[in-house]
Amino acid sequence: MEKIQTLIIGSGPAGYTAAIYCGRSGLKTVLYSGLQPGGQLTTTSTVENFPGYPQGVDGNQMMMDLKEQAGRFGAELRDGSITKADLSSRPFHFTDDNGREIESDTVIIATGASAKYLGLPDEQKYSGQGVSACATCDGFFYRKRTVAVVGGGDTACEEAMYLASLAKKVYMIVRKPYLRAAEILRKRVEEKENIEILYNTNTLGLFGENGVEGAHLVRFKGEPNEEKFDIAIDGFFLAIGHKPNTELFKDSGLEMDAQGFIKTKGNSQATNIEGVFAAGDVCDPVYRQGIVAAGSGAKAAIEADRFLK
């Protein structure tokens, strides 16, 4: 049985920043990178809104920089995943995907969240070439161009409004005959002159030679008046929600909200279980930005260190 002071689960900006701080505090720290080493930012070709990179930086490169920095301060960085977590008593007990057992006095959960996709093969084909799940991250690349947003809830309306301030035209592709969003958001979107809402519409696929150039759509799918048509677009934004990666903790006693995001206390990264901290998108349904995740990783590490001392 391996005994450590802090286990960090996840390796995006939150996990790696937590590892930097834990390492510098002299804590015996192990980080497991999980199924997507580097997290969601590795699917973004260029990150332009993270301070310190005036020319922008490739998402993979940025995560490699953070990983190297975490390693430099003594955190042990491991590939692979934690497959079992017992948070019922301290020290907490974990098992990794090689069957190795670990006891840790504290744990920082930084497993992130995954954007929900429609499940079209074209979403993978054009990933990083016009398909995005984050308007705030990638909207800048579509200044004066035409984009589509999929979804009809609050997030979709917020993303459409944000994109409308940059793009020439924004289509909203909405499955239902109405928007599910709050009244105030609905009104804003409906009144915005460069947003066109396509109700009762589903996406069949995307097309384009060098990245996304258009979308194949269908209106009134399966109805007698079904109608297929194409729109010309440069970018295709998914806004149908994010799913926090909390499967591992579903019977752990950790408090989560209705969507499965881990609840933290007040302005802290502490959870309802003493010694368990959460950081990054796994506990953030609102901002979902690399810089916010990094900041919460620092907070979680400082709190874990204070808890142990």
pLDDT (average), residues 270-286: 96
| C-alpha torsion sign, points 204, 159, 212, 168 | positive
Question: pLDDT value at position 48?
Answer: 84
Is residue 222 scored above 90 in pLDDT?
A: yes
pLDDT (average), residues 206-234: 96
Q: Record the tokens describing residue 283, joined without a space.
A: 């506990």
Question: pLDDT value at position 288?
Answer: 86
The pLDDT tens digits for 178-211 are 999 989 999 999 999 999 999 999 999 999 999 9
pLDDT (average), residues 55-76: 93
Q: Tokens 């269908």: give the residue.
A: 218
* Residue 133: C-alpha distances to residues 93, 118, 139, 150, 195 (Å): 35, 11, 10, 10, 18
The pLDDT tens digits for 103-125 are 999 999 999 998 899 999 999 99
Lowest mean pLDDT among 3-12, 33-42, 85-94: 33-42
The residues annotated with a catalytic role in the active site are 134, 137-138
Q: Record the tokens describing residue 248, joined without a space.
A: 């591992």
Question: pLDDT value at position 118?
Answer: 95
Listed residue (228, 223, 181, 219) closest to 200, CA to CA: 219
Is residue 234 scored above 90 in pLDDT?
A: yes
Question: pLDDT value at position 45?
Answer: 66
The pLDDT tens digits for 80-106 are 999 999 999 999 999 999 999 999 999
Q: Where in the chain is the domain with CATH 3.50.50.60?
A: 2-114+242-308, 117-238
pLDDT (average), residues 163-168: 96
Question: pLDDT value at position 294?
Answer: 97
> What's the whole-number average pLDDT of the chain?
94
Share of the chain above pLDDT 70, in %: 99
Q: Which class would CATH give 117-238?
A: alpha beta
The pLDDT tens digits for 240-256 are 988 999 999 999 999 99
Q: Tokens 């948070």: give the residue.
A: 87
Question: pLDDT value at position 106?
Answer: 98
DSSP class of 249: G
Three-state secondary-structure class, residue 201: strand
Distance CA 175, CA 203 (A): 9
| C-alpha torsion sign, points 205, 289, 11, 255 | negative
Contact 2/95 with Cβ under 8 angstroms?
no
Is residue 177 scored above 70 in pLDDT?
A: yes
SS3 labels along 101-144: EEEEEEEEECCCEEECCCCCHHHHHCECCCEECCHHHHHHHHCC
Superfamily, domain 2-114+242-308: FAD/NAD(P)-binding domain (3.50.50.60)
